[in-house]
A and B are shown apart, each in its own frame.
Chain A
Amino acid sequence: MNRSKQTGLIPVITGAGAMFLLSGVLHSQIATANDVDWSSYNRETIEQDILPAYARFAEQTEALQSTTAALCSAADAEHLQQAQDAFIAAQNAWQGISAVQFGPVQFLMRNYSIQYWPDRKSIGRRQLQSTLQMPADTQFDQEFFHQASVSIKGFPALEQLLFSEDALDKLNREGVDCRLTAAIATNVNEMAQGIYSDWQSSSEEMLSQESSSDDDEESSSDVPELSVNLMKSLVEPIELIRDTKLLAVLGRGAEATYPHRAESWLSEQSLANIRTNLDAAHALYTGESAGLDQMLRAQGHGEIADQIEADFAQLNKELEPLGDSLVAALETHYDELKTLTASLRKLDESLNSAMQVLGVQLGFNSRDGD
């Protein structure tokens, strides 16, 4: 029996492949010339935003590794404070580049391993509790992290170890707590160094791939894949900040909030994270000469560029009085937080208008599905 479909929908048509080719030739003649210099945009964005942000992340995680190592040799209040400060700096550096969800950060699930969040089912907490029960001589080596749950490889687990109320007691007890803390910090640092060096070694290749014209990988639109990925890193997180970092916590009213859904609530950095995310987005948006801002203005869309700048400025202004802790702000500034979500929506809309006039199809949200 033949496996061919019996629906009769697809009789043999020879040369279908050739037809596509033909269409390619024809359409390439009429495709509107887009004078946007995408290769300059790619180069400038990678050299001035992506690489420096990963360099900073790698630098901060190195400090995190050394301060947690020092903490384990003398687990006192002073060393804990230093480790906490280093944690906040490293987490902040991550928040400055976490919007980039393509490229080396995807290798080996580094993106999830660095920060497994949101974690609605508290997988991280449970995994950490069971790991802390392990025998005192457990080795937290590469093999351990290879096998371990992504939920305990990065910032959320470290945060619990460093910021819980009885952190100092636990770090001093006869258990694996302190060694695990130092090992996770080391693991985060290794991932950060790995991402940075992978970007350094592959960025030229990424940039040159995009400029080769005779390439089957070329998409049918005029916008190179790398540019789309970079712009997705700018636009997509705005919705994530609004929906997951804010609205999910704000709940159905000031009396029905979900404080523990907040990102980094233990280290009281939820709003600081958002501020950093928006600063990073703003940096991704503005360039020196070939950024989106310049592109929009050069294409005669100055009004959209002005609107985007105004939206960013408005968000800055609204965030300023709210402090770093979302949990605290829930009590005192609920309405202001609601306003903030509306302003994020506005920025999202402005950025989407920019994508529209530049002819960029970002596609569905990476969480889209059915």
Chain B
Amino acid sequence: MYSWGSIAVMETNRRKLLQLLAGAPLLAALPTPAFATSSTGDQLLIASAADDAQGNHWLIAMNEMGEERLRHPLPDRAHHVAAHPNRPLLAVVARRPGYYIDLVASDTGELVRRIEPQEGRHFYGHAIFTPDGQGLLATEMDVASGQGRVTLRSLDQAGAPSKDMSSGGIGPHELLLAPDQRTLIVANGGILTDGRDKLNIETMQPSLAYIDLESGEITEQRFLAEQDHQLSIRHMDVNALGEVIIALQYQGDLDDDKALVALHRRGQQIKLLRAPDAVNREMTQYCGSARFDNSGRIAAVSAPRGNLITFWDMETDSFLTSMRATDGCGLAATSEDASFIASTGRGNCYALYPLEDYREAMMLPPGLSSLAWDNHMAIKALTS
């Protein structure tokens, strides 16, 4: 059962609405000071790391109107942003090899705490808050052994992590919490790195690991078939049924034409999902980010090098459609079914409605449209 029925074209005429709005003189005349609070209050907070044209790195947050709400300077390029489940708090994680995670108050812009890895460790670009909001889980590399780790830190206590578990492989990247709220899902990319150099492309063994958060034990681990071992498992999302959609990155020959998306259901093998040939080629062997929509039935997988966002149907385990977004990587689901927001390295943000084949550019002020949005986006509903 899905929260919406069949895949049918939804009848919304946004173009017409746009024309109506554009014709409204009162609205058109309204000024938009950058930090004004709209009378109804913000409904969404959209957060992402970004670089500006000068090469500075920022954590940026804006509301659904494209009004800037936060601009926090970062010491180095960042990757993932996580939103706290019940506090106005964001965690922004340094790009791998990463040496900071900043906890930033999204309402005041204050840097609450900068977490640094322990000696001999670095972060791998992703972290998530625990469901109770008390802790932060992060993927790390133990440099000496080359092995992946997942650590748990209390938000309120500095110092060593309270838990330090094996990730089950090399190069752990994105991590998620399963719907049971006690199982961690970790994408072990499989690539041994020195800085950003890749050392083991010929022998890499990516995997998807399910780890019991309490005991640290791996309860299920899935590898790809031998001929697909160079498909790095790095980014993914999980829906309420526990289905995991995976965005793959191929490390093998440029000639090869491998499936670049995969799906996993507990107890089964990882299932590769292939786009139609022309689309698969266009994806250029590289997917950057994966997110389910609000219903959990449609998955969006970005292919930034191919300038495409692809969409997949979990009911039929198959490709639905694709939409163009130049250098588009960051993805987030809106509260509407079959609707996403995508961000790009060229400063654009789009609302995407794949079932209607409709893309709407968020009109951002120059201060935001001149940014290169980094790979991942977080979206948080504000209840005020």
The one of B14, B96, B179, B345 in contact with A21, judged by C-beta atoms closer than 8 angstroms, is B14
The one of A13, A218, A361 in contact with B335, judged by C-beta atoms closer than 8 angstroms, is A13
The stretch among B162-170, B206-214, B218-226, B356-364 that forms the contact with chain A is: B356-364
Q: Is the CB of A16 within 8 A of B14?
A: no
The stretch among B111-119, B258-266, B366-374 that forms the contact with chain A is: B366-374
Q: Is the CB of B1 within 8 A of A16?
A: no
The one of B359, B369, B375 in contact with A221, judged by C-beta atoms closer than 8 angstroms, is B369
Which B residues are CB-close (under 8 A) to A6?
A: 179, 181, 240
**Cα of A363 to Cα of B243 in the assembled complex, Å:** 32
**Cα of A112 to Cα of B1 in the assembled complex, Å:** 45
Q: Is the CB of A359 within 8 A of B96?
A: no
In chain B, positions 334-352 with a C-beta closer than 8 Å to chain A are 334-336, 339, 344-349, 351
The one of A20, A217, A225, A363 in contact with B351, judged by C-beta atoms closer than 8 angstroms, is A20
* Contacts known (A19-B64, A370-B95); A112 close to B254, Cβ less than 8 A: yes
Q: Is the CB of B295 within 8 A of A3?
A: yes
Q: Closest CB-CB distance, B338 to chain A, in whole Å?
A: 11
Q: Is the CB of A13 within 8 A of B254?
A: no
Q: Is the CB of A352 within 8 A of B53?
A: yes
Most-contacted residue by chain B among A3, A19, A369 (CB, 10 A): A3
What total of chain B residues lie within 8 Å of the partner, measured CB to CB? 88
Which A residues are CB-close (under 8 A) to B320?
A: none
Q: Is the CB of A25 within 8 A of B240?
A: no
Q: Taking CB as reference atom, which chain B residue is nearest A34? A: B366
Q: Is the CB of B379 within 8 A of A10?
A: yes
Q: Is the CB of B347 within 8 A of A220?
A: yes
A362 part of interface (Cβ distance < 8 Å): yes
Q: Taking CB as reference atom, which chain B residue is nearest A18? A: B17
Q: Is the CB of A5 within 8 A of B346?
A: no
B149 part of interface (Cβ distance < 8 Å): no
> Can you list, as one digit per residue, whether each of A8-48 has a CB less than 8 Å from chain B (1) or not (0)?
11111100111111111111111110000000000000000
In chain A, positions 201-231 with a C-beta closer than 8 Å to chain B are 216-221, 225, 228
B309 part of interface (Cβ distance < 8 Å): no
Q: Is the CB of B44 within 8 A of A149?
A: no
Q: Is the CB of A30 within 8 A of B53?
A: no
**Cα of A222 to Cα of B360 in the assembled complex, Å:** 16
Which A residues are CB-close (under 8 A) to B239?
A: 3-5
The binding surface of chain B is classed by DSSP as loop
In chain A, positions 347-370 with a C-beta closer than 8 Å to chain B are 352, 355-356, 359-364, 366, 368-370
> Can you list, as one digit per residue, whether each of B236-258 has a CB less than 8 Å from chain A (1) or not (0)?
00011101000001000111000
A186 part of interface (Cβ distance < 8 Å): no
Q: Is the CB of A22 within 8 A of B1?
A: no
A151 part of interface (Cβ distance < 8 Å): yes
Q: Taking CB as reference atom, which chain B residue is nearest A150? A: B255
B135 part of interface (Cβ distance < 8 Å): no
**Cα of A350 to Cα of B31 in the assembled complex, Å:** 35
**Cα of A127 to Cα of B70 in the assembled complex, Å:** 53
Q: Taking CB as reference atom, which chain A residue is nearest B67? A: A23
A1 part of interface (Cβ distance < 8 Å): yes
**Cα of A21 to Cα of B327 in the assembled complex, Å:** 23
Which A residues are CB-close (under 8 A) to B199?
A: none
Q: Closest CB-CB distance, A311 to chain B, in whole Å?
A: 18
**Cα of A23 to Cα of B314 in the assembled complex, Å:** 33
Q: Closest CB-CB distance, B7 to chain A, in whole Å?
A: 14
The stretch among B20-28, B139-147, B152-160 that forms the contact with chain A is: B20-28
A109 part of interface (Cβ distance < 8 Å): yes
B66 part of interface (Cβ distance < 8 Å): yes
Q: Is the CB of A123 within 8 A of B253?
A: yes
Q: Closest CB-CB distance, B136 to chain A, in whole Å?
A: 15
Which A residues are CB-close (under 8 A) to B2?
A: 2-3
B292 part of interface (Cβ distance < 8 Å): yes
A116 part of interface (Cβ distance < 8 Å): yes
Q: With contacts A2-B3, A10-B333 known, what are 13 further pairs, Cβ within 8 A?
A: A2-B295, A19-B65, A24-B363, A26-B32, A30-B32, A216-B360, A220-B363, A221-B347, A221-B366, A352-B53, A363-B327, A363-B347, A368-B345
12 A-B contacts (beta carbon < 8 Å): A3-B314, A9-B381, A16-B44, A16-B339, A17-B12, A21-B21, A26-B32, A27-B32, A30-B32, A32-B366, A220-B363, A362-B346
Top 4 A-B residue pairs of the complex, sorted by shortest distance between their CB atoms = A3-B296, A363-B345, A24-B363, A23-B65
